[in-house]
């Protein structure tokens, strides 16, 4: 049996480049030509290595969640108290959203804010992923409440929704040019509202 030609590019490096294009332009705003040019590969190579544009976007989202700013939530969830979880999350988000090596804002928030009918599956995927993050945060707050770290009257799902809304708002602000100091100030204000 004859083997195909070996790949002449590093798939991780190409995926990183695709991630940055999607992050900067959103799913629908990114063309295949822009992707192949940024990745330094041909369309047949893109399809062979990554599948279609939607498949590539999902792979880029996975990479963003594991290694990029999307990892901030997973790291924050490991903090010993609920307040430290939120503090770590908001400060990590402020840093990640304003990293000069990356596009401004959050891929998971801005990747498909407005899309046509053809991109609805991507919009749903991003909504699903954001909901999973909110659910993980709510579950962490449930544990904190059970441990007496949060007031018994507090509704963990509502607190998680509030925190995620702040992070998503920070993303929009970063995309609009807010500085790291601006976003850290937002984090500080949010933490002042922390339940006693």
pTM here is: 0.87
Taking only the tens of pLDDT, the chain with its 196 residues reads: 445 555 578 899 999 999 999 999 888 889 999 999 999 999 999 999 999 999 999 999 999 988 877 889 999 999 999 999 999 999 999 999 999 998 888 888 877 666 677 678 888 888 899 999 999 999 999 999 999 999 999 999 999 999 999 999 999 999 999 999 999 999 999 999 888 7
Instruction: Let me know: does 97 contact 104? Beta carbons within 8 Å.
Output: yes
What domains can be seen in the chain, in order of their start residue?
Answer: 10-67 (1.10.10.60), 70-196 (1.10.357.10)
Contact status, residue 56 vs residue 18, Cβ threshold 8 Å: yes
Classify 42 in phi/psi space as left (phi over 0), alpha (psi -120 to 50) or beta: beta
Helix pair angle (43-50, 32-39), 10° resolution: 90
From CA 65, how far away is CA 108, in angstroms rounded? 9
């Amino acid at each position: 049996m004859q083997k195909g030609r070996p790949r002449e590019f590093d798939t991780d490096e190409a995926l990183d480049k695709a991630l940055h294009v999607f992050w900067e332009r959103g799913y629908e705003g990114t063309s295949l030509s822009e992707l192949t040019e940024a990745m330094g590969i041909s369309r047949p190579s893109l399809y062979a290595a990554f599948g279609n544009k939607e498949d590539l976007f999902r792979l880029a989202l996975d990479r963003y969640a594991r290694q990029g700013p999307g990892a901030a939530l997973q790291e924050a969830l490991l903090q010993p108290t609920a307040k430290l979880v939120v503090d770590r999350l908001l400060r990590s988000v402020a840093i990640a959203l304003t990293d000069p090596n990356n596009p401004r804002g959050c891929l998971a928030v801005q990747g498909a804010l407005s899309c046509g009918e053809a991109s609805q599956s991507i919009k749903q995927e991003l909504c699903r992923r954001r909901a999973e993050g909110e659910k993980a945060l709510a579950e962490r707050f449930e544990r904190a409440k059970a441990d007496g770290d949060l007031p018994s009257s507090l509704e963990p799902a509502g607190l998680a929704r509030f925190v995620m809304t702040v992070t998503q708002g920070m993303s929009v602000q970063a995309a609009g040019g807010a500085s790291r100091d601006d976003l850290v100030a937002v984090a500080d204000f949010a933490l002042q509202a922390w339940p006693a």
